Amino acid sequence: MKSLSKFLAIGLLATASSALAASAANIDYSHLILLIKDDGSRSRNLQDLVDPSSTFQHRVPNIKPLVTPSKARTLADVEALRRHRLDRYYIVDTRHLSHRQADALRQQLKQDPVIEDVDFEPVVEGMHEDKAEPIAGSARSGIPDHTGRQYYLLGRQAVPPYNIGGVNAVKAWTVPGGKGNNMRVISSEIDHWAYNHVDLPKPFLEVDAGAITGYHDTASVGTIGSRDNGFGTTGIVPHAQLGYSQYGPSRLLQTAELLSPGDVVQLGVHMNYTPFPAVGCSQNCYMPVEYNRTVRDIITYLTMEKGVHVVLAAANGNINLDHPYFSGYFDRNRFDSGSIYAGAVYPTSGLRAYYSQYGRRVDLFSWGGSVTTTTWTTANPTSAYTHTYSGTSSANPIIAGVMASLQGVARANGLGNLAPKELRRILVETGYPQANGNRTEIGVQPDLEAAIRKLLADGVGQPPTGRLAIPEQAKSGETFNGHVYAQSPTQKPLTYRWNADGFTPPDGDGPTLSLTAPPVTADTLTSISVAVSDGTHTLNLRENITIKAPDAPPVGDCAAPWIASKVYAVVGEKVSYSGYSYQVAHWTQNARPDLNFVETGSAKPWRRLGTCGSGLPVARITGPSSVEAGKAVLLSGASSTGQGLRFAWAATGFNPDSSAQASSSFIAPNTAGTRVITLTVTDERDRRATASHTLTVTAGTPANRPPVGSLQGSETVDSGQVVSFIANASDPDGDPMSYTWTRPTGFTGTIGNTRSVTLTAPAVTGDTRVTVSVVVSDGRGGMLRLEKPITVKAPPPSGSCGDIPAWSPTKVYSTYAEAVAYNGMVYKQNFYSLGKRPDLNSAVHSQPWHPGVPCR
């Protein structure tokens, strides 16, 4: 194949690397995804109507760009796509080729110098191992109400036989917006839900390339938004609009262009990498879709640029995403797309389900079994239900519903659209752990009541909301644009203060800033921050970015190393191998130079030119000299020199304690002190060199200690009477505290940011149990929730007093001698009263009621 360089150098942008491919048995041979190298050009105009790939269809048949050109795009739209490499992806349709032919095309394309990466995707599976067995169904008129089995809708208290509570959707429903009013949720799966199901709406949006109806999406969508209609099930956000996007990179990006800030997308699929021996997995080796770099770039575009909330199944592979093999790919300190990874627990044990992915990147979990929701069968396509939806499949839509509910509350209360990372932060900080107290294995289960409380407390004064969009990576010395998407819910003017230390310029004062990355000799992880202010409140935004060092030049006088799979078709091209330089004599591939050379002529594919790179290898380490205890540090050995280098890191006390990557991230130990990390490099002649790097591990910032205390007040209050409560709290760190009170339903009285409140109980006809609560916050994320159950005591029965009305605690009595009945006695009014029980406030002269007499 001829080089693609000439016709693909029309202007395509940024840098990337792909996760390792799946085994041959689980490769999707239907299409190739190409990522073109960034040549620094900006000449491709994504606003053109002409498809740039049309100019080279005859060279690479069935190729098209991932981003379809459109004149509707603004320059800002184009920059947003470029920040995430999306203008550099191309898709080649290979369905007409055999697997062998498709793989041969992939190998051919890999040789072109303009292509950075080309590969097939692993097989994407619709998680149909997660079952949703139907229960007996009937016609619509006979459908029972199954909400009594939807325990995942309830609060933190577990209901036997289960050992974990729910997400507290029932509390969210009592708050404006909590049922998903004015919210839109997109379900992206392999199949689509039953559009004619009696308990589900039809889609407001459909991006579909021939998907079929299936039980899996029907179960997912029912969990999210089955209707509140008195029969069947009720979704977490029954008032939300629901849309469908058939899963696939191009359709996901197409959907992104149709969405708005605050929308929610749930990705109910995972990828099959079976077998995956590097992480100890031999079967069912499923991975989250973000392990595919193309998909991760699209998701990052959704969250950063579009402001869309994304939740994806952490996958059913039982794989540790913190495994050293991944070299920090899932480390949020290095890169954070802003999505939520959903793990799963067994509700009967309250502990991680054995199949659920785990690790620090898994943010939230929910029920991975016994989920009651809608389903679909060919025998019952319109009214089927299940009690057995399971897996990260069921946890994922539960969390999607939670996200839509919290965002709906924010909108309804004038707080605008939350940034995806802000919504995730609130859910994580207010969630609760597995039954064993573990908060780090698969995160926490969300608690909508607590999350809404925090949302409203943090939103006092309607501060600005927003997000910062920058590339994941930039080349040394490269210029790129960063942009802040911010809004003031009260329409106040906003100011911006950029802090880009090391970049040019190092600061700025507008929503967009053009930045030039600093020159580096080794890959360097740094960050850019922006303070957004409305004059009263300040929103601090920060994102990490990796500055990529230039490729290391060949050692000494050696040419580029020989690559076995590369086609060498240019006579005279030079390579190096095992300390010698060679020159191409004629076309060759996979012919080792030391076994296929001549000194002169062209009888063999290589001519040997002589020795090169005679010096010994040199190990070099670059990176920070200090790290905070428990935090990550990125060290690079990329500036080491030598031919065919292999790397071996030794980092005793760190996690991981070894690595075979050129650059690696290590988590520092929890104790302060001086530590040494060593790097040994070995060249292709098995010659070794070693370097050491001294790191000072500094004491971490002391963990914030939340407030402590108790809620004091009476445990009973009479119907219609006044009662007071005091939050007797203190902060171990001496931080100032704030108070957010919640009145029980029916109570009246002013509540605010005070230690105490005085409330008036409602009039009741029977003893009523309620709870008053207050959240005490220290302003640094520490919170103490205090609750006090109280009983509102009903007045005793009035007895048989004929037509004499019973005394009312809420009525004003101002008519002299007006008679009332209370507890079998008749009392007559003496002077003005309100809420004064006759039996406790009666006397001939000094009380509002005359002494009582028995009823006749």
CA distance 243 to 255: 10
The string of DSSP codes covering 568-629 is E-STT-EEEETTEEEEE-S-EES--GGGSEESSSSSSSEEEEEE---SPPB---BS-SEEET
Residue of 83, 38, 543 whose CA lies nearest to 335: 543
- pLDDT on residue 5: 36
- pLDDT on residue 615: 64
Residue of 8, 212, 20, 196 whose CA lies nearest to 90: 8
Pairing of strands 512-516, 479-487: antiparallel
Contact 465, 415 (CB under 8 A): yes
Both 154 and 251 in a single domain?
yes
Both 180 and 319 in a single domain?
yes
- pLDDT on residue 49: 45
Contact 668, 634 (CB under 8 A): no
In degrees and rounded to multiples of 5, residue 289 shows phi and psi of -65, -20
Model confidence over 646-666: pLDDT tens digits? 999 999 999 999 999 888 889
Which pLDDT band holds residue 494 (cuts at 50, 70, 90)?
very high
CA 71: distance to chain centroid?
Answer: 32
Which pLDDT band holds residue 799 (cuts at 50, 70, 90)?
low
Inside any domain, residue 560 = no
Higher pLDDT, 207 or 12: 207
Both 95 and 240 in a single domain?
no
Both 384 and 425 in a single domain?
yes
Both 426 and 453 in a single domain?
yes
Both 490 and 417 in a single domain?
no
Q: Is the pLDDT of residue 342 over 60?
A: yes
CA distance 153 to 107: 51
The rounded percent of the chain whose pLDDT value lies above 90 is: 54
The string of DSSP codes covering 211-275 is --B-HHHHHHHHHHH---SSSB---SSTTSEEEEE-SSHHHHHHHHTT--TT-EEEE--EEE---
Q: Is the pLDDT of residue 438 over 80?
A: yes
Of 749, 775, 793, which marks where a domain is finished?
793
Inside any domain, residue 773 = yes
Inside any domain, residue 130 = no
Both 789 and 815 in a single domain?
no
Parent domain of 585: 567-611
Q: What CATH code is carried by the domain that includes residue 693? A: 2.60.40.10
Range in 11-20, 113-122, 342-351, 518-527 with the lowest mean pLDDT: 11-20
Residue of 558, 546, 562, 576 whose CA lies nearest to 663: 546
Average pLDDT rounded to a whole number, residues 365-377: 97
Average pLDDT rounded to a whole number, residues 26-36: 90
Inside any domain, residue 148 = yes
- pLDDT on residue 16: 31
Inside any domain, residue 351 = yes
CA distance 206 to 243: 6
Inside any domain, residue 134 = no
Model confidence over 122-156: pLDDT tens digits? 889 988 887 888 887 655 558 999 999 999 999 99
H or E element at residue 316: none
CA distance 544 to 735: 29
Both 469 and 596 in a single domain?
no
Residue of 611, 618, 617, 615 whose CA lies nearest to 579: 611
**Taking the alpha carbons of 423, 428, 432, 433 in that order, is the dihedral positive or negative?**
positive
* Strands of 574-577's sheet in order across: 574-577, 580-584, 606-611, 597-598
Domain count for the chain, please give it. Answer: 7
CA distance 842 to 827: 8
- Residue 492 makes CB contacts below 8 A (sequence gap 6+) with 464, 534, 535, 536
Both 811 and 783 in a single domain?
no
Which pLDDT band holds residue 616 (cuts at 50, 70, 90)?
confident
Both 693 and 718 in a single domain?
no
**Taking the alpha carbons of 343, 349, 355, 359 in that order, is the dihedral positive or negative?**
positive
Both 269 and 339 in a single domain?
yes
Higher pLDDT, 543 or 13: 543
The one-letter code for the residue type at 549 is A
Of 91, 122, 153, which marks where a domain is finished?
122
Model confidence over 737-774: pLDDT tens digits? 889 888 888 899 888 889 999 999 988 878 888 889 88
Range in 80-94, 612-626, 753-767, 805-819 with the lowest mean pLDDT: 612-626
In degrees and rounded to multiples of 5, residue 255 shows phi and psi of -65, -40
Of 437, 458, 479, which marks where a domain is finished?
458
CA distance 608 to 595: 11
Average pLDDT rounded to a whole number, residues 317-340: 93
Model confidence over 225-242: pLDDT tens digits? 999 999 999 999 999 999
- Residue 482 makes CB contacts below 8 A (sequence gap 6+) with 468, 469, 470, 498, 500, 512, 513, 515, 528, 530
Inside any domain, residue 243 = yes
Both 449 and 479 in a single domain?
no
Average pLDDT rounded to a whole number, residues 548-559: 64
CA distance 24 to 596: 31
- pLDDT on residue 76: 92
Strand partners, 700: none
Q: Is the pTM of this model over 0.75?
A: no
Q: Is 290 helix (H, G, I), strand (E, B) or coil?
A: helix
Pairing of strands 27-36, 89-93: antiparallel
- pLDDT on residue 12: 27
Inside any domain, residue 554 = no
